[in-house]
Amino acid sequence: MSSFSLPIALTARLSPVVVLAAAGWALSSGPLAAPQAAADKSPAEKTKTQSASAPSRTQAVKTYAAAPAPCDSIAEKSVKSLVPGAKTAGKEIPSTDSKLRRTCSWNALKGYEYRWLDVSFEVLESDEAAERTYQSRLEEKSGGGAVPGLGDTAYSVVNLTTEDKQQTREGVVVARASNALVIVTYNGSDFESKKAPGTDEINKGAIKAAKEAVAALGKA
């Protein structure tokens, strides 16, 4: 009995070693082994591989980062012509974000003739965002037509309203230049005749102001 006790005990002690050795072979060289190429990659190579496989994100480039000073966007001689009697300095309207949205207003009553001019700038995150806003504004207006050669795209519309027998004719021009919108509102009334100025006068005046405002974008 004692002659078999040593081999049996030795076998019992060595069996776990054999099992562990076999398991080690399976993990290092056998079918369960991890791909050596991936394991041998340096941290820099791993980062490079991950960056290459990750989806690329292209940040939108903003042509215009801020709105220009609106009261400086229209030449003094233009203000005198469009709004006779108005202070050429204009009056800037308070804005919640003056970097992205700014408006200047001119208005005056000379004799019985009244004129009002507003010029607004709105800077958006991208050309696509500006185009969506432009299209939504287009849907709000009826009639009118495109204005060739003004920004990337532009339209104008003129409407006549009457209140207490007093006519007022108003022209609106909306232009998009890259990621910025320019909105011009120009209207007038004659308090003596109760009539409004002609469509052609209001439309041309609004377009003239819009052209100067679009040109001012590049100076912001």
Mean pLDDT, rounded, for 90-107: 94
Provide the pLDDT for residue 52: 45
Digit-coded pLDDT (tens) for 4-39: 444 433 344 434 434 334 444 444 444 444 444 444
Give phi and psi for 206, each to the nearest 5. -65, -40
Q: Which of 128, 213, 124, 118 is nearest to 170 (CA)?
A: 118
**CA distances for 165 relative to 22, 170, 190, 195, 200, angstroms:** 103, 16, 11, 9, 22
| In the predicted structure, residue 122 carries a pLDDT above the cut 70 | yes
Q: Give the C-alpha separation, 175 to 141, whole Å.
A: 14
The first and second tokens of residue 76, run together, are: 């003094």
Q: Hey, where are the domains in the chain?
A: 2-53, 70-217
Q: Give the C-alpha separation, 2 to 93, whole Å.
A: 108
Q: Give the C-alpha separation, 171 to 183, whole Å.
A: 11
Task: Identify whether the C-beta of residue 170 lies closer than 8 Å to the C-beta of residue 217.
Answer: no
Of 54-68, 135-149, 197-211, where does the model show the most confidence?
197-211
Q: Record the pTM.
A: 0.72
Mean pLDDT, rounded, for 172-191: 98
Cα torsion 141, 91, 201, 220 to 10°: value is -70
The first and second tokens of residue 122, run together, are: 């709105």
Class of domain 70-217: mainly beta
